Amino acid sequence: MSAFRRKVQIDGVPSETGDYDHEKADLGAKEGSDDGNVTEDHDPFAGGKVRRKASMARIFKGDYVDVRSKPYLMKLLEKQGDRGVLFADKILKFTGSGKMKRQILVITDFAIYIINPETYALKRRIALAAVERLCLSQLSDNFIAVIVPTEYDLLMASTRKTEIVTFLVESMKSTSNYELEVNLSNSFEYHAASDIVKEIQFEEVEGGTKTKFVNKTAQAL
C-alpha cells in the first residue's frame, strides 16, 4: 500500500528528543496497518472528522508492541490488577511545558497507562472511569486529548488515533455502559498540568494541517 502523507506544522512546540523533525513528520503520517484481526466497522467520529483513505478501510491489530512478550510490562500491569491489553503502541506525549516525549500507551479494560519505552517505568495511570471525554480536531491530524477533570489532561499524537478512540469508546461502553463523549473542534482547551490551561488550534493549509498552541493561563494573568 502506498503511503499517503500530510504535512503537519506545529508552532511553539519544543522537543526533548534528538529526532524532533522525524517525530513532527509522524504527526501527519498515514494511519493504520494491514496486519491484525479486528476490523473497524464503524466511524467513531460520526463523519465529523476528515480521515485518510487508509484509515477508512483498515484492520485493527490492537497490540503493536507485543506486551505479552515483555515480562516487565506484564508485571507492571499485573501489579495494578490488569492483564487484558486492548491496545498498545508508541505515541508522542506532550508534557506540561509543551515538549514532546515518546512513550508507550497501553489501554486495558480499566485504565490508560503511559510507560517509559526505555525503562518500562510507569509514568501515569488514568482510570477509565475518570475520563470525561476525548477532544480531536475535525482535520486530518493525529492529535488526541483525553480530558480528566479530577487530575489533568493527556495530550498525545498517534498515527493510530482512530483505533485508540474506538477502543476507549468500546471499552467504556462494555465495562460501565457509559457512552464516552468525543468532541470534534478545530480549537479546544485542555489542562496541560493541574494549573496550566492551553488551547490548541488547528488550521487547514495547503498540503496539510497547521497546529498552534496558546497558553491561556498566561493570558489570564
More confident residue, 45 or 61: 61
Please state the rounded mean pLDDT for residues 21-31: 41
Please state the rounded mean pLDDT for residues 166-187: 92
Q: What is the pLDDT of residue 163?
A: 95
**Structural element, H or E, at residue 162:** helix 161-176
Q: Cell 477532544, residue?
A: 135
Q: What is the pLDDT of residue 79?
A: 94
Give the DSSP letter string of 19-75. Answer: THHHHHHHTTSPP-BS-SSEE--S-TTTT-S---HHHHS-EE--BSS-GGG-HHHHH
pTM for this entry: 0.78
Q: What is the pLDDT of residue 166?
A: 94
DSSP state of 172: H
pLDDT at 145 over 80: yes
